[in-house]
Amino acid sequence: MQTNFFRQIAKLNLKGDLQITFTQTSENNFIASVLLKNEQCGDEARKTIPPLNLRGTAEDLDNGFFESITQPLQTASGLMVDMESFMKQLEETKRNSAMEKEKSDKEKKEKEAKEKKFKDTLQKAEELEKEEKYKDAWSALPKASEFPDYAEIIRKKQDEYERHFAPSLFSENQSQSTEI
């Protein structure tokens, strides 16, 4: 027995996953439940589209299945594609809006100002280091809590300066114990 069921489904040219469930309700009657899902659509409204339920005998479903599902499924498919397109355009418009550009520019300027402040403070600490004023250099370093992006650099500099003005107790003990 040859059928053209899958060729008919392919002709519908639907975007998404087609879920079909057949349930026998009585000896000769069935319910065919057809649901189209499109996970590519970012709009949550897609989840409110109900399944299409067809009731009838096996012969009724054989004769009218595709005629009954074609228009509603193509409409649902087109709707979900349109919703996704709308969502993408909405995001693009939002990115291009004057307010968003202004906000982005403001954030960029704030970031640049913060980077400049970090570099200036670090430069001051390095100048003190050249003068061998390690305690002052350590104190002049920017605070890691204010510049979390540069925390590792700050900690390394702190460790470096501490070695000059606050030697490790362990390294002193080791050198004394080796001298004995």
Tell me what pLDDT residue 22 has. Answer: 93
| Average pLDDT of the chain, as a whole number | 84
Confidence of residue 178 (pLDDT cuts 50, 70, 90): very low
**Claim: this prediction has a pTM higher than 0.85:** no
Tell me what pLDDT residue 53 has. Answer: 93
User: Which residue is listed with tokens 């065919």?
Assistant: 32
Other CB atoms within 10 A of residue 147 CB: 18
Give CB contacts under 8 A, 24+ apart, made by 16-19. Answer: 16/40, 16/41, 16/77, 16/80, 18/73, 19/51
List pLDDT tens digits, range 71-123.
989 888 888 888 888 888 888 887 777 777 788 888 889 888 888 988 888 88
Evaluate if residue 61 carries a pLDDT over 60: yes
